[in-house]
Each structure stands twice: as C-alpha cells, then as structure tokens.
A and B are shown apart, each in its own frame.
Chain A
C-alpha cells in the first residue's frame, strides 16, 4: 500500500471524527515519497515477533491513567525538565537511512549516562554511525533492512560505542570508518533488560533514565505536529525505534524523542497515547554505563565493602559536584586491591584530587594529590 502524501485538511477531519486530540500539518517528512518515508524508519522485529503482535500486547494499556497507583513513580514526568534540569540530549535526524535503532539506542544510553552522573550538562554524544555502519552492518543490516532495538543495546554491551566525533553520522550505507584511537573512546553499558509493565516503565523513567521503545508508524504520523497521537490512518509504514523520555497520566500519554530533526513534530518530540501502536508493549532499559579512560580531577565521597573477596567500591564525584557514581576497585589480586583502596580512602579523608583510570568501570590506577 503506497504511502501517499496526506492532505492536512482531510487528516484534520479524520482526527476530529476519531475524537483524537493531535494536530496535523505539513512537516519535514510529510511530503516525502513512499520510498523516502520508509528510510525514516528501520525497526524490524526479529523472527517470532511482529508489529501486529506488539500492537495487540500494548492495546491493553489504552486508557490506563492510574497505573502509578501501584508504583511510587509520580503521575507525570519529563526528563527534559526534571526539577529544572534537562537530561535528554539534542534531537538528531537519521535522514535517508533506516537507522532509527541506532538513534533510539544511542539516545537511551546518552540519557542514562546523564542520569547516572546526575549531570544534565554531561557532554555525551555517541556515534550512531558506528552502531549502524559498523556493528549492524557486520550483522548483515543496512539502510534498507533496518535493525531491532534490543540489538542496538546489545552492541553497547558487547562492543561499546565511540563518541560522535570519532565516526560522525551521515545518511547512506558506507564503510566502517572509525578514528584511529577508537578502542579507547568506547562507552559500554553493563547490560539491558526488557520492561513489560507500564508501572515499571514509569518507575524506571523516574529513577534511572530514558527507555528505548518501538511502535508501528502509520502514514498519518509523518504529519504529526503536536498533541497526543493516536493513529487515524490504516496505512502501515513500518516499525520505528525511538526513545521514551517521560509520561503524563492525566493526559494518558508517553513523551518520546524522535530522530527526524527538530523541524518535525513538537521540536522533534511527540506525545503518544498509552497503548497506542504498540509503543508500550515492551520497552528496553539500559542497566548502567561502564566507562574506559581517565576520570581527572574527581573526588571520593563514599566507600563500600562487603564480606566477599576483593569487593570494594568507591563513590566518585566531579569537581563541580556532578555525579559519577559507584566504581569497583581493581580486584586482580589482594595487594592491588588493598593498595588502591588505601589510596582512595586517603583521598576521601583529605578531600584530595583524584585522577583515576577506569577500565570497563573498574578503577585500575589512581593518582591522589
């Protein structure tokens, strides 16, 4: 079924007749051809899963507004304005390549990184190009085939992903062209998991960070400008991976960041109704960030240990007070473990400056001044 350009007037009528509350208009993608629209997507469920199945699963969430009654999450939350702080990185544009999974995954990790550090200004911009043109490509994927959301997070866990400057994104299949020192510039995650209940999704958003998610895009979605989206077109364009950054129980919607640039939707974001188009069938959570490299000019504010072999952790903060969080102390052997712990305990006592080298989140070397 061809994805024709939709008349704003006709679409507005259909929205009103359906009792939906969103506004349609000409957008940066609404006037694209059928083929060009498909390149704006790229979430393809693996064998055994389907967009239809996800829509049916999510449909039970329609109309849910009191789910927080059984959780401790607030009734509304927006990670762009959490007590006046914006933990969400800027909107990007995948343009003509079905690489949405790379964008949704990177955005989820970036936001989680900022939340983990408690630092909305943390400079983190991860390479969608490496995710898609190196890692997805090695799995046989390209701009036309798309990918699936959990594969993107898997890549962060197993391979790690470099910063944007190491391999900047441009649309279109291309060689894996990483910078020379790419191995030292990777960000990894400790793991990810799938969340299936709305209450748990809200809880995670409120306490840990954004969630990668996927939904079915109908042809009318390309014309979304604002409001709470519910599809009124029956023409399916395909699956799309985005990142969920908040929710609102009173309005009954999720807040999501898209990867179609700031000129689309509500400055690149959209609201989508609970249970709509499979959006909350499942979502994917980033468990935590592991890092490799130097943490310079940081301070120790906490220490922890337990009755297990070589298991001690240090809580680090940046000089400006930004959170770094718990890091495990190297546990190669007893004297390494004890030496590093002793140095860090000294640093805590004197409130001294610490330069620490971490490898996959484990402190391997420290200077204390």
Chain B
C-alpha cells in the first residue's frame, strides 16, 4: 500500500513549503539547556514551532507541521521511536515552545523540546 501523507495545511499564518516524504549504539542527548540555542558539534539544529500534527490508522505514520517548513514525517523505524517522537512533538505544540530537530533522509530523527 502506498504511503499516505497529510493533505491539509494549518489554517493560517504559516506558509506551506514542499511536503517531504520517503525515507548500534544507543545515542545520548548532547545538548544542554545552556547550549540549546547553539549548534551542537557538527549537527545543525533547526528550531521551529510545531503548528500541526497528523496521523492515520497506518503503522508508524505520523507527521508534524513545522512553522515555515511544512509537513515532516517522523522516523518510522520502530514503534517506540515514532511514539516518543510524537509525544515530544505534541508537547512542543501544546506548550508552544520551540522544537529543535534533526532531519535526515526526509525523516525527523531526533527532537529536543525545552
């Protein structure tokens, strides 16, 4: 079955850009509250507000709408990973706080919320 994507954009105030799709050791967080505003090492961190969420009754298919960016799919490599990313994205939306995220292969792979 082909992958389903969100098709509706947030009501206003945010320009929808291109909607992206596609896409052993245990990592640890490397940023701290004092370094959160800066790039950590070689990783470029984008800071955006979450203005929309979308999901559907398909395995591991959750998307987040980032202000000035558009819809981005959350990593779908494991049940716990996609749920954890969804929880953080939902929290960022509810708290209206910036979400620092790392994107790779058209998937949001890593999120900080402060």
Q: Interface of A with B (CB < 8 Å)?
A: 301-313, 315, 325-326, 328, 331, 334, 337-338, 341-342, 345, 348-349
Nearest residue (CB) in B for A306 is B110
User: B26 contacts A308, CB within 8 Å?
Assistant: yes
Closest to A328 in B: B28
Q: Mark B76-98, 1 if CB is under 8 A from A, else 0.
A: 01111101110110110011000
Tell me, rounded to whole Å, the shortest Cβ–Cβ distance linking B33 to chain A: 6
CB neighbours of A325 from chain B (8 A): 32
Inter-chain pairs besides A308-B26, A334-B79, 20 sampled, C-beta below 8 Å: A303-B88, A304-B113, A305-B88, A306-B27, A306-B81, A306-B109, A307-B78, A307-B85, A310-B80, A311-B26, A311-B27, A315-B33, A326-B29, A334-B83, A338-B84, A341-B87, A342-B87, A345-B88, A348-B95, A348-B113
Q: Is the CB of B28 within 8 A of A313?
A: yes
Q: Is the CB of B91 within 8 A of A345?
A: yes
Most B CB contacts (10 A, CB to CB) among A302, A306, A326, A341 go to A306
The residue in chain B whose Cβ has the minimal distance to the Cβ of A350 is B95
**Helix, strand, loop or mixed for chain B's interface?**
mixed
Question: What's the nearest-Cβ distance from chain B to residue A1, in Å?
Answer: 50
Contact call A302/B78, Cβ cutoff below 8 A? no
Contact (A341, B84) CB under 8 Å given A307-B109, A308-B78: yes
Instruction: Indicate if the CB atoms of A303 and B27 lie closer than 8 Å.
Output: no
**What is the interface size of chain B, counting residues whose CB is below 8 A from a CB of the partner?**
30
- B25-39 vs A, CB cutoff 8 Å, 1 = contact: the mask equals 011110111001000
Q: Are A307 and B77 in contact (CB under 8 A)?
A: yes
Q: Which residues of B contact A309 (CB under 8 A)?
A: 78, 80-81
Closest to B76 in A: A307
Q: Which residue of A lies closest to B36 (CB)?
A: A302
B83 to chain A, nearest CB (A): 5
Given A345-B87, A345-B91, A349-B91, the answer on whether A304 and B81 have CB atoms closer than 8 Å is no
Which residues of chain B are near A328, meaning CB under 8 Å? 28
Decide: B84 and A337 in contact? CB cutoff 8 A. Answer: yes
Please state if B27 and A302 are interface contacts (CB–CB under 8 Å): no
Per the 8 Å Cβ criterion, residues 16-69 of B in contact with A are 26-29, 31-33, 36
Contact A311 B91 (CB under 8 A): no
5 of the cross-chain contacts (CB-CB < 8 Å) are A303-B91, A303-B113, A304-B111, A307-B77, A331-B80
Contact B27 A349 (CB under 8 A): no
Contact A304 B112, CB 8 Å, known A348-B91, A349-B91: yes
Do B114 and A301 touch (CB < 8 A)?
yes
Query: In the complex, how many angstroms separate the beta carbon of B36 from the nearest chain A beta carbon?
Result: 8
Residue from A305, A315, A331, A349 within 8 A of B85 (CB atoms): A305
